Amino acid sequence: MTPTTGTTVHTIPRLEIRNLKRRFGDRMVVDDVSLSIMPGQVTCLLGPSGCGKSTTLRMIAGVDTQDAGEIYVDGNLICDTVFRVPPERRQIGLMFQDFALFPHMSVADNVAFGLKGPKVEKRARVETLLERVGLGWTIDVFPHQLSGGEQQRVALARALAPRPRIMLMDEPFSGLDNRLRDGIRDETLSVLKQEDTAVLLVTHEPDEAMRMADEIALMRDGRIVQQGAPYNIYNAPVDLEAVAFFSDINVIRGVSRGALTDTPFGQFLTPGFRDGQTVNIVIRPQHLKLDFDRAGKGPLPTERDGQAARGIVERARFMGNESLVEFRMDHDGSVLRATVPNVFLPQPGTALWLTLRRDRCFVFPAAQAHEAAMHP
Ligand SMILES: Nc1ncnc2c1ncn2[C@@H]1O[C@H](COP(=O)(O)OP(=O)(O)OP(=O)(O)O)[C@@H](O)[C@H]1O
C-alpha cells in the first residue's frame, strides 16, 4: 500500500539508500545496506552497539563517504562514489543525544539559527514550531532556564526549522530520564508527522523502536537482517537472534527426523530440515503455560499446546506487572523461564508442569558449530 499523509499520496521515497558499503581497515562496517523511507514515515535502524548504525547515518548526512552504493532524495541522486552533494545542501536535519543549544542565545535565536529570509517570516516559523513542541512560552528565555526535556524539544524545533526533508536522529532520547522519555518520544513523533518529514532514527533499544517506528530495520554486523513493521518483526522474526533482541527467550533443542522433531513437549513439524539436523525451538517466557502437579501427573496433551513437561521451581521473582519463575526441567536439567501476569510466586522446590503455546514457538536451524559439537 502506498503511504498517505493527509490527502497527499507519495509514490517516490523521500530517502532511498541502495547497497551502501563502508569499510574501515579490513572490516566491512556497513555491508550492502539498502532501505527507503516515505515522507512522514519513521524508520528505526535498530541493532546492538557497533553494528554500523551511526556510520550509515553519517554517510546519509554527508559527513562520511561510502565506498559503494547510492543515496537518493525524492528520486534524485545526492551521493554515489563519484558525485556528492555537500552536507549543507542535502536538506537533512540532524538530532543527536548530545545535542547542544547555544547557551548565550535565547530559545528563539537558537531555533532561528539555520533559517534564512526576512525577519518576520523567521519569527513566524520559530513561533509555530515552539507552539508545536508545546514550548511557546519559552521564546525569550535562555537554555539554562529549561529542563533537559524542554531543551530536547527546543533542539527538535531547531532541527525542524529549515524544513528538512529528512531527519536523522541518533539515540536522541537516551540522555533523558525514563519518566520524561515516553512523553517526549510521543510529542516528537507527532511533530515529525505534522511536518511530513521522513525520519531515520538510530537506536539500540527495542522498546524505543517499537514505540516510534512505522518500520524497523534490524541491523547486525553491518547488514540489515530483517525489515518490516514492528508487529511483523516481533511476531515473525527471521532467526533466533532476532527473537532474542526483543525479549528473553527459552530454547528447546531437538533433532529432526522425517520432518518431525521430538521434544519433551511433544512433536514439532520441521519441514525443510535434513534428517539429523539440530533444531532450536524458541519461545518467549510469556508463552509458556503452567499447570499444577496432580500426584505426579500433568495436564493431558492437547493439539494446541502439545504435551506438558515437569519442572521444579528454582526461584520466583515479582517484577511489577508480572512474575518471573525459573524452572529446572526434569528431563534434561535445563533451565526454562516463564512469566505470569500479576503475582505468582511458588516456593522453590515446587513441581509444576509446563506447556508451550505452539502458535508462539519459532523453529530455527541450530548454528552449524553447535550441530557439529552435538553430532561429532
Ligand atoms: N572512523 C572510524 N574509523 C575506524 N573504525 C570506525 C570508525 N567509525 C566507526 N568505526 C567502527 O565501526 C563500527 C561501527 O560503528 P558505528 O558507530 O556505526 O556503530 P553503531 O551501531 O552506531 O554503535 P553504537 O550504538 O555504539 O553507536 C564500530 O566497531 C566502530 O568502532
**Same domain flag for 221 and 314:** no
50 CB near ligand 1 (under 6 Å): yes
51 lines ligand 1 (CB under 6 A): yes
Better-predicted residue by pLDDT, 78 or 159: 78
114 belongs to a structural domain: no
**Per-residue pLDDT reduced to its tens digit, 200-228:** 999 999 999 999 999 999 999 999 999 99
Among residues 244, 272, 287, which one ends one of the domains? 244
In a domain, 140, yes or no: no
Please tell me the least confidently modeled range out of 60-64, 112-116, 185-189: 185-189
Tabulate helix, strand, coil % of the chain (nearest 5).
25, 35, 35
Average confidence score pLDDT of the chain: 90
Task: Calculate how far, in angstroms, residue 24's C-alpha sits from the geometric centre of ligand 1.
Answer: 9
Both 225 and 275 in one domain: the answer is no
Identify the pLDDT of residue 7: 58
User: Is residue 341 helix, strand or coil?
Assistant: strand
Residue corresponding to grid cell 534428517? 275
Q: How far is the CA of 199 from the centre of ligand 1 (A)?
A: 21
Q: Which is the closest atom of ligand 1 to the Cα of 56?
A: 18
Q: How far apart are the first and last CA of the chain?
A: 50
Residue 6: per-residue pLDDT: 53
CATH code of the domain containing 234: 3.40.50.300
Q: Into how many domains does the chain fold?
A: 2
Residue 11 in domain:
yes
**Mean pLDDT across the stretch 94-109?**
86
Q: Tell me whether residue 292 is in a domain.
A: yes
| Average pLDDT value for residue range 73-87 | 94
Do 62 and 80 belong together in one domain?
Answer: yes
Residue of minimum CA distance from atom 29 in ligand 1 = 50
pLDDT of residue 112: 92
Q: Within this chain, do residues 179 and 285 fall inside the same structural domain, yes or no?
A: no
| Whether residues 337 and 264 fall in one domain | yes
d(CA 201, CA 209): 8
Q: What are the beta bridge partners of residue 200? A: 43, 168
Looking at the structure, tell me whether residues 229 and 268 fall in a common domain. no
Nearest Cα residue to 112 out of 168, 158, 166: 158
Please give the pLDDT value at position 147.
Answer: 86
54 lines ligand 1 (CB under 6 A): yes
pLDDT of residue 368: 56
Report which listed range, 86-95, 185-194, 224-233, is most confident: 224-233
How buried is residue 11: exposed, middle or buried, by Cβ count under 10 Å (0-12/13-18/19+)? Answer: exposed
- Say whether both 87 and 168 belong to one domain: yes
The pLDDT of residue 1 is 45
Domain boundary among 212, 244, 276: 244
| pTM for the full predicted model | 0.86
Q: Is 204 in the pocket of ligand 1 (CB under 6 A)?
A: yes
Q: Let me know if residue 297 belongs to a domain.
A: yes
Q: Which of 176, 211, 244 lies at the terminal end of a domain, its last residue?
A: 244
Please tell me the predicted confidence (pLDDT) of residue 196: 86
| Inside any domain, residue 98 | no
As given in the structure block, the three cell numbers for residue 354 are 509446563
CATH number for position 365 = 2.40.50.140
In this structure, are 67 and 186 located in the same domain? yes
Does residue 48 line the site of ligand 1, with CB under 6 A?
no
- Between the CA of 30 and the centroid of ligand 1 the distance, in Å, is 9
Q: What is the mean pLDDT of residues 282-286?
A: 97
User: Ligand 1 atom 7: the closest Cα is on which residue?
Assistant: 24
pLDDT digits (tens, 9 = 90+) for 2-38: 455 555 667 899 999 999 999 999 999 999 999 999 9
Residue 113 covered by a domain: no
Residues 238 and 256 reside in one and the same domain: no
Please compute Rg for the chain using Cα positions: 25
Q: Whose CA is nearest to atom 13 of ligand 1?
A: 50
Q: How far apart are CA 169 and CA 45, in angstroms?
A: 10
- Domain hosting residue 21, numbered range: 4-91+164-244
Q: 27 CA distance to ligand 1 centroid (A)?
A: 11
Q: Which residue has the higher pLDDT, 137 or 43?
A: 43
pLDDT digits (tens, 9 = 90+) for 110-161: 999 888 889 999 999 999 989 888 888 888 899 999 988 888 889 888 988 8
Q: Quote the ligand 1 centre to 49 CA distance (angstroms).
A: 8
Residue 371, pLDDT above cutoff 50: no
Are residues 329 and 279 part of one domain?
A: yes
Out of 181-185, 274-278, 321-325, 335-339, which region has the weakest mean confidence (pLDDT)?
181-185
Residue 221 domain flag: yes
Site to probe by mutation for ligand 1, drawn from 28, 45, 54, 168 as the one with most ligand atoms within 8 Å of Cβ, is 54
- Distance from the alpha carbon of residue 3 to the mean position of ligand 1, in angstroms: 32
Q: φ, ψ for residue 31 (rounded to 5)?
A: -125, 90
